[in-house]
Amino acid sequence: MKTRLVPLFALLFLAGCAAGPSNFAEMDLDRNGRISRGEFTDSIAQISFASLDRNHDGYIDLAEWRAGESGGNEALFRARDLSRNGRISPQEARLAAEKNGSMNALFSTVDSNHDGLIDADEARRYRATLR
């Protein structure tokens, strides 16, 4: 499962961050010209949450989960449903994103100078390596 998550997060990252200056700016929540690990995690969690919340009610239920990119792994859904109410909230999605080792590894890869921040040049260079 982990090997499938890295390309998914890479595509989400590229769609949101490296697609252009305005998208990069949207992920740069504090407007300092760089994306921190927290901003990265928040943005990826929001992008993936929005893609799975097909009825736009602010939650992901099991049917939406099964229909989405996740492949429908019910055990993974239950693990992310921390409140055990049969749906994943944005907060639960954010917590899952924080704990995702594949996403942390991707951040470290894109952060080529390893300063804990991704700038626009690093995002563009990463995008070029995937072409």
| pLDDT number for residue 2 | 43
Q: Would you say how long the chain is, in residues?
A: 131
Q: What confidence tens digit (pLDDT) does each residue in 78-102 have? A: 999 999 999 999 999 888 888 877 7
For residue 49, pLDDT over 80 is answered with yes
Q: Domain coordinates of the chain in residue numbers?
A: 2-129
Q: What is the 3-class SS of the chain, one letter each residue?
A: CHHHHHHHHHHHHHHHHHCCHHHHHHHCCCCCCEEEHHHHHHHHHHHHHHHHCCCCCCCEEHHHHHHCCCCCCHHHHHHHCCCCCCEECHHHHHHHHHHCHHHHHHHHHHCCCCCCEEEHHHHHHHHHHCC
What predicted TM-score, i.e. pTM, was given to this entire model? 0.72
Chain-centre distance of CA 15, in angstroms? 11
Q: What is the DSSP letter of 22?
A: H
| pLDDT number for residue 11 | 58
Q: What confidence tens digit (pLDDT) does each residue in 5-20 have? A: 445 555 556 555 555 5
